[in-house]
């Protein structure tokens, strides 16, 4: 089974993907890292060179053309489910898991934001406002996930249990 971890930036998708993949003894795929590997540019550099729409096009192409092993855990970019038919594609091709987190928790986790092109110039108050607006836009996509878990203090064991509950129901 392919497990796609989705959620807002800073919710722990990359970290939880590594932990869950280790627990399940399967490969982990980080789609942002895959984009960096394919293009030779950081995400911020790609955004700067091609804009958000160019990045979203390439991100969607990477999602759909990557050669996934039969069993793996995939960390997606925060916006990936919200563009084109990406959420439908992931739901058809694997198990989607939304790592949900409160906006204030996300602000505290995004202190090192200079590497994140959408928020690099925002102070904490602006960041909280930005997150609230973006979550309102993105939640209709995120909540299409087959599994929704609160990501605050979530460990790999609890994440695995939530996924198993869904696959057994």
What is the pLDDT confidence band of residue 115, given thresholds at 50, 70 and 90? confident
pLDDT confidence of residue 67: 97
Task: Kindly report, residue by residue over 7-40, the tens digit of the pLDDT.
Answer: 999 999 999 999 999 999 999 999 999 999 999 9
Q: Where are the domains of the chain?
A: 2-168
What is the pLDDT confidence band of residue 112, given thresholds at 50, 70 and 90? confident
CB 132 within 8 A of CB 122: no
Check pLDDT > 80 for residue 166: yes
Check pLDDT > 90 for residue 125: yes
Per CATH, the architecture of 2-168 is what?
3-Layer(aba) Sandwich (3.40)
pLDDT confidence of residue 6: 99
User: C-alpha distances in angstroms, 133 versus 38, 61, 73, 128, 166?
Assistant: 31, 26, 28, 9, 30
CB 38 within 8 A of CB 26: no
pLDDT confidence of residue 113: 74
pLDDT confidence of residue 118: 80
Global pTM reads: 0.95
Task: Kindly report, residue by residue over 47-106, the tens digit of the pLDDT.
Answer: 999 999 999 999 999 999 999 999 999 999 999 999 999 999 999 999 999 999 999 999
Cα 157 from Cα 24, distance rounded (Å): 10
């Amino acid at each position: 089974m392919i497990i796609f971890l989705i959620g807002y930036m800073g919710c722990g998708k990359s970290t939880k993907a590594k932990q869950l993949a280790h627990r399940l003894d399967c490969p982990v795929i980080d789609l942002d890292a895959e984009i960096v590997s394919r293009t030779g540019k950081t995400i911020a550099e790609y955004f700067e060179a091609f804009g958000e729409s160019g990045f979203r096009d390439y991100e969607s192409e990477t999602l759909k053309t990557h050669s996934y092993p039969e069993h793996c855990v995939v960390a997606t970019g925060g916006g990936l489910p919200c563009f084109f038919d990406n959420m439908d594609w992931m739901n058809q091709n694997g198990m989607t898991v939304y790592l949900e987190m409160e906006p204030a928790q996300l602000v505290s986790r995004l202190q090192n934001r200079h590497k994140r092109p959408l928020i690099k110039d925002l102070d904490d108050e602006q960041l909280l406002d930005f997150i609230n607006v973006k979550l309102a836009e993105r939640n209709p996509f995120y909540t299409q996930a087959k599994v929704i878990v609160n990501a605050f203090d979530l460990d790999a064991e609890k994440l695995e249990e939530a996924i198993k509950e869904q696959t057994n129901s």
